[in-house]
A = this chain, B = another copy of it.
């Protein structure tokens, strides 16, 4: 990856997308890249959809704002509807499979992130980490080693194995 990649992670509050953004940015640093991770809260943040944004680049990042993202992850329909117009043409839309696919100039990857968290890992709260596994398996924007270390560095003590499994199950959703 030589260029600047902009990623928007969206869903509802409480789905852990801020943490997912921090982990993704820290994984990029472990890979020797630069990263900026942002939460913007405006009047729209008072609705139900929340987002976290990450920019990863080999160069220094002078302009830290994501306008049109290369990648959009959406875990809820409300978030998808709110942010899909901020996805670049031919950008990658990673959707939880509970959400109906929209029409539009996107590459769509529809995967059962929420169901995998709940049924395969056994905790719906790790959907954010399943989503990271899927996103990285599909895009290779950071290395597998880096994301694993970044996840283990950030999750609460005692939940390491659970989150490792979540990451691995997310990875397996794309092959």
Contacts and interface: CB of A to CB of B under 8 A. Distances in A.
A18 B29 contact: no
Contact of A25 (B25, B28, B41): B41
B41 A39 contact: no
Interface stretch (A1-9, A59-67, A96-104, A111-119): A59-67
A156 B158 CA distance: 14
| Count of chain copies | 2
Interface in A18-51: 18, 22, 25-26, 28-29, 34-43, 45-46
Interface in A95-140: none
Which of A26, A37, A40, A61 has the most C-beta atoms of chain B within 10 angstroms of its own C-beta?
Answer: A40
Interface residues of A, number: 24
A64 B53 CA distance: 12
B39 A36 contact: yes
A34 B25 contact: no
A101 to B, nearest CB: 31
A14 to B, nearest CB: 10
Given A64-B64, A65-B63, A65-B64, A36 B25 contact: no
A35 B60 CA distance: 24
A41 B35 contact: yes
A57 to B, nearest CB: 10
Contacts of A65: 63-65
A159 to B, nearest CB: 11
Interface string A133-164: 00000000000000000000000100000000
8 contacts: A18-B22, A29-B41, A35-B40, A35-B41, A37-B39, A38-B38, A38-B39, A42-B60
